[in-house]
Structure 1
Amino acid sequence: MKHLILAALIALPAPALAQEEGEIEEGFSLMEEGAKLLFRGIMSEMEPAIDDFSDLAEELEPALELLATEMGPALIELIQTLDSVRYYERPEVLPNGDIIIRRSPDAPEYEPREEGDIIDL
């Protein structure tokens, strides 16, 4: 008799475990669906901003290309002339449009860069 009761008690939890596993799987699928809905909502909210950014990039593209082709070589020459950017103060724009870049008073003495030296920014 004891064996029969023991066997019945051991057999009871098996369907309960199966039911819990099914509930856990259902919980995970509900969480997955919730995450999908959340991301869809975020994407639909972000879509106008992404479109605006794409439009802005298209508008700026010609200006950036012009900057790269015309100012690029001059900026590279300027960087190669400076021994280190950290030794200079902010550029100052004069009323006539000239731009002055002064060396900081506490910077070490200027040593011109030689051809092939590594640029230290």
Structure 2
Amino acid sequence: MRPALALCLILLPAAAFAEEEDRGLSLMERGAQMFMEGILKEMEPAIDEFAGLADQMGPALKNFAQEMGSRLGAILEEVEDWSVYEAPEILPNGDIIIRRKPDTPEQSPEEAPQIDL
């Protein structure tokens, strides 16, 4: 009886493995699938929060694009290299300025484009 029990214990994992292979997923693939499902489950609250933020900001961004789109397009055409500028800064009075980085060479007055304000 012991040899029959040993044979069953040997064949049982092989049968389970064969069944897994018949469905098209190896143990490694199934493990990877379970890992990804776990990550998605952990990330679900962050994804839902991001979706809510996108829903909240969507109308404001659409309005901004409608009002400022053409003006921003004109600025994008004028500036050749954005890497020579610092990040925009909002002053206390509400003005927004974009300064040139101090280590970049300045344009000579004849090269500088004239902008009507």
C-alpha spacing 1:69/1:31, structure 2 compared with 1 (3 Å): same
Query: How does the TM-score come out when normalised to structure 2?
Result: 0.55
Distance 2:70 2:76 in 1: 10
Gaps of 5+ in 1: 1-18, 114-121
Aligned-residue Cα RMSD (Å) equals 3.3
| Deviation (angstroms), 1:77 | 1.8
C-alpha spacing 1:95/1:108, structure 2 compared with 1 (3 Å): same
1:34 to 9, 14, 31: 31
Distance 1:87 1:48 in 2: 39
Matched ranges for 1:84-99 at <5 A: 84-88=81-85, 91=88, 93-99=90-96
Matched ranges for 1:109-120 at <5 A: 109=108, 110-112=111-113
| Deviation (angstroms), 1:52 | 1.1
Deviations 1:63-88 (A, max 9, x none): 11011111211211222333543455
Q: Which runs of 4+ in 1 moved over 6 A?
A: none
Matched ranges for 1:1-121 at <5 A: 26=17, 29-88=26-85, 91=88, 93-102=90-99, 106-109=105-108, 110-112=111-113
C-alpha spacing 1:98/1:32, structure 2 compared with 1 (3 Å): closer
Amino acid at match of 2:17: E
| Deviation (angstroms), 1:47 | 1.4
Query: How does the TM-score come out when normalised to structure 1?
Result: 0.54
Aligned length: 92
C-alpha spacing 1:32/1:66, structure 2 compared with 1 (3 Å): same
Gaps of 5+ in 2: 1-9
Structure ID, larger Rg: 1
Structure of higher RCO (CA pairs closer than 8 Å, 6+ residues apart): 1
Tell me the percent identity. Answer: 46
